[in-house]
Structure 1
Amino acid sequence: MTVKERIEALREKMREKKIDAYLVPTDDFHASEYVGEYFKCRKFITGFTGSAGRAVIMEDMAGLWTDGRYFIQAAAQLEGTGVELFKMGEPDVPTVHQFLEEKLGKGMCLGFDGRTVSAKEAAELSEILEKKGAALCVNYDLVGEVWEDRPALSCEPVMELDVKWAGESRADKCARIRKAMEEKKADAFVLTSLDDIAWLLNIRGGDVHCCPVVLSYLVMTKTKILLFANEKAFPAEVKDALAKDGVALLPYDDIYEYVKTFTTDMKVLLCKKKANSRLAGSIPEGVAVLDEENLTFLPKAIKNPIEVENERIAHIKDGVALTKFIYWLKKNVGKVPMTELSVTEKLYSLRKQQENFIGNSFDPIISYGVHAAINHYSATPETDISIEPGNFVLADTGGHYYEGTTDTTRTIVMGSVNDEQKKYFTAVLRGMLNLANAKFRYGCTGVNLDYLARGPLWELGQDFNHGTGHGVGYLLNVHEGPNSFRWRIIPGDNAVLEEGMITSDEPGYYVENEYGIRHENMIVCKKAEKTSFGQFMCFEHLTMVPFDLDGVVPQQMSVQERALLNDYHAQVYEKISPYLNEDEKAWLKEATRAI
């Protein structure tokens, strides 16, 4: 079926159920950022393949909302489908909620699959609709009813993450969370976020592409831990190990019936921002629900010393692969045929050579020339283009290792580029170095520091339309909260930077239909000195990959900025060169020369 045919089939189901507007989120049943194939209803109904976005279907319109990373991609993919693009955050563009409030009136009905919308959002929508005299219908998966060849729910094998990688045993983590429950006087903790469950139980899976998580729900009480998941995914040794630590395995869907057994004398911890509305709605009326952030959220983000040391090792391995890749690119461009897809395969082959490599941490973003202006472009056989001298290759890629997760972007000069491209290449690099060099009092958040990365571009009256940095999981999701760098203050997303938090530092600059630039390192937050003013903090580079000096204009950089780049490059050469052959080592020596 075409997109138009799919939308018409959905509208027919809506008419049957007397639903006037149907909301199709990107989410699975766990509020995950990336979702398994079974859950890609929004992609199925609109044709838009980006990782973020939501659709609203009505009788006379179909709309897709997405953020600045995907404006160009969405416009291209929606062309000819009849689906209108709503550019989130742009002037005069309503939010999904504002749009629904305007369009839905008395006697009308909004529908969605309650398992794919959070309890918090469902309550907000209910409040909006109540004022308008409209109703909610949350019991139907209408997209699923028209999706004839829908993939099955994933059931990939589960593995145990040894304590030598995790740095803390499952028993100790569970004891920590139980202690936090006691402090909150909670009788039960319902956990629905897949990465939180994987972190807590020291298990990893493969139920979401590039995210080593296990489709599951978890309930912890004072005396038991119940894991609701597909038993077929668990090898006998993993089941035995879980059982020894008091974890009982129950069928995945049984969570909805289980929470109905909660009694009115209980206090239940549940994050309504992350738990789906059908699950929250299954808890009996009268049960006290404490709606707070998951107790696992912050401990997961603060990497322990073993995790941090392992991440240093992972980034050296990744740095070796990426350095070899950049050397190969620059040596062979214009001499051997290469395309976005073929060089993507080349990089994967170099990563695979590294010990304890597991797989990509996200779909590689390797884009040349005009494609690099699309923030999150990933090549397909239909879009693949040749790489020739005369523009940038932007390579935003990462890997999962037993030692941790990496995410690195380098913009590589193919042959030569013009003065304007070099000017912005240098401005973005200055911002990245300045943020990584930040020294600040404890208590600062990413909002306090974001200006350091954007400053060189803002001085030129330019900017980039995405966040500056995100937290990264340990052999988990490549995007992880609560730490981030951004200039906008978002309520509830303004975490203090703690020692052990790993965050990306990735400013960029993009010129539509011409080129794109992004430089990204992973940095770990550390304690600096303590003075009468309090504890000071700083960052350490984890990523060890050279920046392409062919794009740098030293005259644009201050003395301090040149010193920062030179010091960083000296570290790269020291840590990476022992793993290179003689030709690669000689090239790296020149590529990391002092400027």
Structure 2
Amino acid sequence: MTYQEKLAAVRKQMAEQHADAYIITSSDPHMSEYVPNHYKCLEFASGFTGSAGTLVVTQHFAGLWTDFRYFTQATEQLANSGYKLVKLKIQHTPEYIDWLYQTLPDGAVVAFDDKLLSVTLGQLLQSKLADKNITLKSFDFLDTIWADRPPLPMKKAFLINEKYTGESVASKLQRVKASLKIQKADYQLISSLDDIAWLFNIRGEDVTYNPVVLSFALLGPSETTLFIDVNKLTAEDKTSLHHSGVQISGYSDVEDALATLPANATIFIDPKRNCFGLYNLLPAGVSIVQETNPSTYFKAIKNPIEVVNMRSVMIRDGVALTQFFKWIEENIGKIKITEMSAAAQLKEFRAAQAGFAGASFNIIAGYKAHGALPHYAATAESDSEILPEGLFLVDSGGQYHYGTTDITRVIPLGNNTEEERTDYTLVLKAMIEGSKTFFPKGTKGYQIDAICRKPLWDYKINYGHGTGHGIGFYLNVHEGPQAFNGTNNPVAVDLGMITSIEPGVYRPGRHGVRIENLVITIAAEVNEFEEFYTFETLTLALIDTSLVKKDLLETHQIAWLNNYNQTVFEKLSPALSADEAAWLKNKSRAI
């Protein structure tokens, strides 16, 4: 079927079920950012492959609501699909709900698969559309026309050792249940796969780039149940979980467990990380506490063992990146290198490192104008040859059995313009300012975001994405609850949190610059003004200085850059060959 034929088939079912609008989200029953192929509904329906967006269909209009990261991609992929791009004004907001309110008549019916909609969005739809008497109904209009729909993944799951996690399952469960007592909750439903992975020290391969396994968990007064395809676990792992007080039940059994909860019970649910469908199964009379999962806060603060392992990962990852930078420099203009072949070569260097388990996300390798697309993904059609001129932006990361990495570097290839040099230096300045700042305990992410943007704002330059996100420990490369962006996120930047700092400048049609390191929050000083924190940079990879315009940097920023590159050399050189170490030493010399 063509995309227009699929759209027609959806509209036919809508007419049969008297639905005036149909919402298709980019999600799964676990509210994941990245989803198994079985749930790639946006791609099936419209051809759009971005990780964030919402399709809304009526009999007279079909649109994709997505943010600026995907405007160019969406315009290309939606051509001849029957869908039009609707540009979000504010990233990560459900602006389509306002559109539905303004467009639909009183008494209309809005349909969606309630297993693919969060509790928060379901309740927002109810409240926003209520005064027009709009009815919400759950339908899956895609499954009946998705003839070759991929099955749910069946890959094995596995437990990871405490020597990597630094804490036992029993200890983690005890901490979470103590939080539930404070909230006066008898039960907690956990659907978010990274929370489950952290809580049960379990990992899997069900979602590309994220080492998680499809599962649910229900914590009760005296029991804890993990709902998972029982064939995914070995007998040894089942026994280990049992000894930690965990019962194992089938993946779909969670529905019966929720539907049969005691009517006088109180259940804790994270409304952003649980689906509306499971929420609607709760019996009448059950009290509901809606807050962020306690485990989300716990896993954000890395324990000493996790930090030690992450430091080790940074050395391994830095070695691979050094080899990649050297390979690019020595081969550009001599052999044919494209965006895709360069990305494959970088993955090969990472794969040679001990404990490598795969990429942490799809490599963004953007040459020249493609670098101006923050979430660019090269395809066979767009794959550009890399020539000895311009800028090459590479945003990549690795999953290792003892940590996760995420790093962006811009490689200057020659004949660079003054604009490229200025943009590169200003982005570097912004990243340095964020990395070396001191801030009082209780500081929020939006304050760090502003500190990073100030050097760019001074030149009337801005970027449309956030400055930083939390990162998991051998888990999701995007992790909360902290974030460095402009939203009024109430979560303070706390000790032990690992977060990215990644400012950027994007010139459509010309080039993009983004420089990204991971930092950990550490204590700085206690004085008459209470506690102050700062960041320690964890990422170990050369920052090229050949484009730097020293007159745009302050003395302390130049000192930071020189010290950083010297530290990179000292930490990585013992793990490099003599030739690689000599190359890095030359590239790391002070400016």
* TM band (smaller chain): over 0.9
Q: How does 1:169-188 map to 2 (within 5 A)?
A: 169-188=168-187
In the aligned structure 2, how far is the partner of 1:380 from the partner of 1:525?
A: 37
**Does residue 489 of the first structure (1) align with residue 487 of the second (2)?**
yes
- Specify the alignment match of 2:499 in structure 1: 503
Deviation at 1:94, TM superposition (A): 8.6
Q: Secondary structure at the match of 1:549?
A: coil
Q: Secondary structure at the match of 2:491?
A: coil
Q: How does 1:76-91 map to 2 (within 5 A)?
A: 76-89=76-89
In the aligned structure 2, how far is the partner of 1:362 from the partner of 1:563?
A: 32
- Output the amino acid matched with 2:574: P
In the aligned structure 2, how far is the partner of 1:141 from the partner of 1:90?
A: 28
In the aligned structure 2, how far is the partner of 1:109 from the partner of 1:166?
A: 48
Q: How does 1:380-395 map to 2 (within 5 A)?
A: 380-395=379-394
Map Cα deviations across residues 192-234 of structure 1 (whole Å, 9 max, x no partner).
1110001000000011111011101100112111111111111
Deviation at 1:21, TM superposition (A): 0.5
**Does residue 530 of the first structure (1) align with residue 526 of the second (2)?**
yes
**Does residue 151 of the first structure (1) align with residue 136 of the second (2)?**
no
In the aligned structure 2, how far is the partner of 1:511 from the partner of 1:309?
A: 39
- Specify the alignment match of 1:205 in structure 2: 204
- Specify the alignment match of 1:555 in structure 2: 551
Q: Is contact 2:264–2:286 with CA below 8 Å preserved after alignment?
A: yes
- Specify the alignment match of 1:546 in structure 2: 542
- Output the amino acid matched with 2:491: A
- Specify the alignment match of 2:404 in structure 1: 405
Deviation at 1:472, TM superposition (A): 0.3
In the aligned structure 2, how far is the partner of 1:361 from the partner of 1:536?
A: 32
Deviation at 1:442, TM superposition (A): 0.3
In the aligned structure 2, how far is the partner of 1:416 from the partner of 1:173?
A: 54
Large movers: runs of 4+ above 6 Å = none
Q: How does 1:433-452 map to 2 (within 5 A)?
A: 433-452=432-451
- Specify the alignment match of 1:326 in structure 2: 325
Map Cα deviations across residues 156-181 of structure 1 (whole Å, 9 max, x no partner).
21111100100101111111111112
Q: Secondary structure at the match of 1:482?
A: strand
Deviation at 1:185, TM superposition (A): 2.0
**Does residue 583 of the first structure (1) align with residue 579 of the second (2)?**
yes
Map Cα deviations across residues 495-542 of structure 1 (whole Å, 9 max, x no partner).
101111000000011111111111000000011111121111010011
Map Cα deviations across residues 41-69 of structure 1 (whole Å, 9 max, x no partner).
11111111011101101111110011121
The alignment's C-alpha RMSD in Å is 1.3
Q: How does 1:50-69 map to 2 (within 5 A)?
A: 50-69=50-69
Q: Is contact 2:67–2:90 with CA below 8 Å preserved after alignment?
A: no
- Specify the alignment match of 2:455 in structure 1: 456
- Specify the alignment match of 2:16 in structure 1: 16
In the aligned structure 2, how far is the partner of 1:106 from the partner of 1:558?
A: 61
Q: Secondary structure at the match of 1:212?
A: coil
In the aligned structure 1, how far is the partner of 2:233 from the partner of 2:16?
A: 41
Map Cα deviations across residues 535-568 of structure 1 (whole Å, 9 max, x no partner).
1101001100011112211121111110010111
Map Cα deviations across residues 421-459 of structure 1 (whole Å, 9 max, x no partner).
000000000000110001111000111121222122111
- Output the amino acid matched with 2:160: L
Deviation at 1:127, TM superposition (A): 2.1
How many residues of Structure 1 are paired with residues of Structure 2 in the alignment?
590
Q: How does 1:96-115 map to 2 (within 5 A)?
A: 96-115=96-115
Q: Is contact 1:260–1:282 with CA below 8 Å preserved after alignment?
A: yes
In the aligned structure 2, how far is the partner of 1:459 from the partner of 1:124?
A: 38
- Specify the alignment match of 1:358 in structure 2: 357
Deviation at 1:585, TM superposition (A): 1.6
Deviation at 1:10, TM superposition (A): 0.9
Q: Is contact 2:268–2:290 with CA below 8 Å preserved after alignment?
A: yes
- Specify the alignment match of 1:516 in structure 2: 512
Q: Secondary structure at the match of 2:377?
A: coil
**Does residue 343 of the first structure (1) align with residue 339 of the second (2)?**
no
- Specify the alignment match of 2:430 in structure 1: 431
Deviation at 1:145, TM superposition (A): 1.6
Q: TM-score, normalised by structure 1?
A: 0.97
Map Cα deviations across residues 227-276 of structure 1 (whole Å, 9 max, x no partner).
11111111221111111112111111111111111122211111122211
Q: Which of the residues 547, 558, 561 maps onto 1:565?
A: 561
- Output the amino acid matched with 1:554: K
Out of 15-24 and 453-462, give the one that drifted further: 453-462
In the aligned structure 2, how far is the partner of 1:379 from the partner of 1:94?
A: 28
- Specify the alignment match of 2:588 in structure 1: 592
- Output the amino acid matched with 1:214: V
In the aligned structure 2, how far is the partner of 1:483 from the partner of 1:248?
A: 32
In the aligned structure 1, how far is the partner of 2:115 from the partner of 2:147?
A: 20
- Output the amino acid matched with 2:11: R
Deviation at 1:80, TM superposition (A): 2.6
Deviation at 1:371, TM superposition (A): 1.0
Q: Is contact 2:155–2:206 with CA below 8 Å preserved after alignment?
A: yes
In the aligned structure 2, how far is the partner of 1:315 from the partner of 1:408?
A: 10
Out of 140-149 and 562-571, give the one that drifted further: 140-149
Out of 264-273 and 202-211, give the one that drifted further: 264-273
In the aligned structure 1, how far is the partner of 2:474 from the partner of 2:232?
A: 19
**Does residue 478 of the first structure (1) align with residue 474 of the second (2)?**
no
Deviation at 1:38, TM superposition (A): 0.4
- Output the amino acid matched with 1:26: S
The percent of aligned pairs where both chains have the same amino acid is 40
- Output the amino acid matched with 2:503: P
In the aligned structure 2, how far is the partner of 1:341 from the partner of 1:449?
A: 34
Deviation at 1:321, TM superposition (A): 0.3
- Output the amino acid matched with 1:42: L
Q: Secondary structure at the match of 1:428?
A: helix
- Specify the alignment match of 1:416 in structure 2: 415
Deviation at 1:79, TM superposition (A): 2.2
Deviation at 1:90, TM superposition (A): 6.1
In the aligned structure 2, how far is the partner of 1:418 from the partner of 1:389?
A: 13
- Specify the alignment match of 1:191 in structure 2: 190
